[in-house]
Chain A
């Protein structure tokens, strides 16, 4: 078996379908290639010299204790940190070869290609249909038939279609928490992104809903590149091809998920995944 030696007796839960945790990603094209990124909130430096490659069509999990910078890192990938006063970032962040830190980059276009799902499901106080159609609409799509088709396909991809097909025009606020989060995923898919960033997408959900979201991630990763921040290490080990461990603003270690969870190179990583701290 693949059980590592340095973490003797540790068992790793089975992965969700569609995720190969021993994937050799060295041959994959990098969807995201971060080189020497430093990030500051005002005077305070939050990220130190981060370099990380995210392979195309795979799931990368970012783990680490609270305040380690993993969420901040995730937000730099579609420049959501621009919204914070005094945020500053240096280094290179290449998304499909283009440096998104370049001031000439249009963040609106960037966010269309790099979608984001948040911890708290945030449906707009509108109908289910209008929620999913929002992204295409702000991008200029007006044709109702095109929108209807898009809404249907995105809701299907997000495994929500069967539950809401009869009430597309009722308020999205009436959905359950798990349904709302899948709606948010469908909404993100509707802008046709290449990359989806997920910031603890299941941390506010019950186990059954979490399970659905995890399986959904496994399905989506054949078409999308996914980066997910999670506090739940079992979740990281179930859904990701590659895991990156952050600690105090530094990227300690990154590698195939199976390797990180069974035989990490760094002592800090081992201490964290065995629950000795964090």
Chain B
């Protein structure tokens, strides 16, 4: 062979391929660009619709959205009508819903993920959790109406003293004098807990599953019990994920109207649960707290629904409804921002 090193170094081998685009590659590039534009269009189209919606709501809200909208009760006069009852109603509803659904939801998730053996029953439960999450919320409303309403009314009558009960046969309990109402905060919160529980459980399960099993094994190997391992390692490590899931579920509970209409909450309310209309009252008369769960209430989405179908010749309630939507949106965005902050903060500390 006569291929010497010196010859090779200086010569350029003959061209065996071209780099200029020919017809076939142009065709492929066109397709590629077309696909990109289609995706871009899909994104911008939905953004555009959202922007138009928001703008029209802002436009419509002009004329009512002032600070006194937040501090006024319902009124037949659109100019004086406000969202105060809905704000407090939603606040108590969400507070009680969280009280019920966080311990039950996180507890169930811990049991399903960390403790339960992989039995037939557990598999059925796991699969059906996602089915439950997909059940329309109005169905839970019907459940709340038929199951929780009689239960809570029974409870109310006990508190009410109408059927004063003997405790251990020693003394008769006659706690508070309350009126019995349908659609109380307690029934609402129990129903709403059912609506969001599947989501809370699934989100918590995901968060627990994201904790590497090496952490559990290492903790157990150091002589920690299962409980200590869960409480000191697994839960802290999964807390950001759980918190995010919980907060997003809570924001769903804030926006739901259907289950609340089903259990018969007020649509027109001129009182807040417990008669508490400002944080100051809450501090000055904490005793009112006791009656909050049993009081009738309304929530922001229910009020908005009601306003939007108010018969008014000059269509003046449109501004009220639009203002309500904006307030609800602002609250929801605040809550979601909180979820983002939680996730971001924790994400910086936890790297596996």
CB within 8 Å of B: which residues of A? 78, 80, 83, 85, 108-109, 111-112, 115-116, 118, 120, 122, 124-125, 134-135, 138-139, 171, 173, 184, 187-188, 191
Contact = CB atoms under 8 A, between A and B. Distances in A.
A80 B213 CA distance: 13
Nearest to B221: A116
Contacts of B117: 85
9 contacts: A83-B220, A85-B118, A111-B223, A112-B222, A112-B223, A120-B214, A125-B236, A138-B222, A188-B222
Given A118-B217, A171-B349, A124 B223 contact: no
Contact of B233 (A78, A116, A124, A188): A124
B124 to A, nearest CB: 18
Interface in B283-335: none
Contacts of B232: 134, 138
B222 A134 contact: yes
Which of B220, B232, B236 has most A Cβ within 10 Å?
A: B220
Nearest to A117: B221
B215 interface: yes
A191 B351 contact: no
Contacts of A171: 349
B222 A111 contact: yes
B45 interface: no
Contacts of B350: 125
Nearest to A119: B214
B219 A109 contact: no
Contact of B217 (A122, A125, A139): A122
Contacts of B225: 108, 138
A38 to B, nearest CB: 24
Contacts of B214: 118, 120, 122
Contact of B219 (A78, A115, A124): A124
Nearest to B232: A138
A276 to B, nearest CB: 34
Chain B interface bracket (under 10, 10 to 19, 20 to 34, 35 or more): 20 to 34
A184 B223 contact: no
A111 B221 contact: yes
A125 B212 CA distance: 11
Given A80-B217, A135-B224, A138-B225, 20 more contacts: A80-B220, A108-B223, A116-B221, A118-B218, A122-B212, A122-B214, A122-B217, A122-B218, A124-B218, A124-B219, A125-B215, A125-B350, A125-B352, A134-B232, A138-B223, A138-B228, A139-B223, A184-B218, A187-B222, A191-B222
B115 to A, nearest CB: 12
A86 B221 CA distance: 20
Contact of B222 (A83, A109, A135, A173): A135
B223 A173 contact: no
Nearest to A82: B220
A112 B221 CA distance: 8
B93 interface: no
A109 B349 contact: no
Interface in B71-92: none
B202 interface: no
A198 to B, nearest CB: 11
Contacts of B351: 125, 173
Contacts of B217: 80, 83, 118, 122
Interface string B234-248: 001100000000000
B60 to A, nearest CB: 49
- Which of A83, A112, A138, A187 has the most chain B CB atoms closer than 10 A to its own CB? A138
Interface string B197-226: 000000000000000101101111111110
A134 B218 CA distance: 11
B224 A134 contact: yes
A83 B214 CA distance: 12
Nearest to A112: B223
Contacts of A80: 217, 220-221
A105 to B, nearest CB: 13
A173 B350 CA distance: 8
Contacts of B228: 138
B216 to A, nearest CB: 8
A134 B219 contact: yes
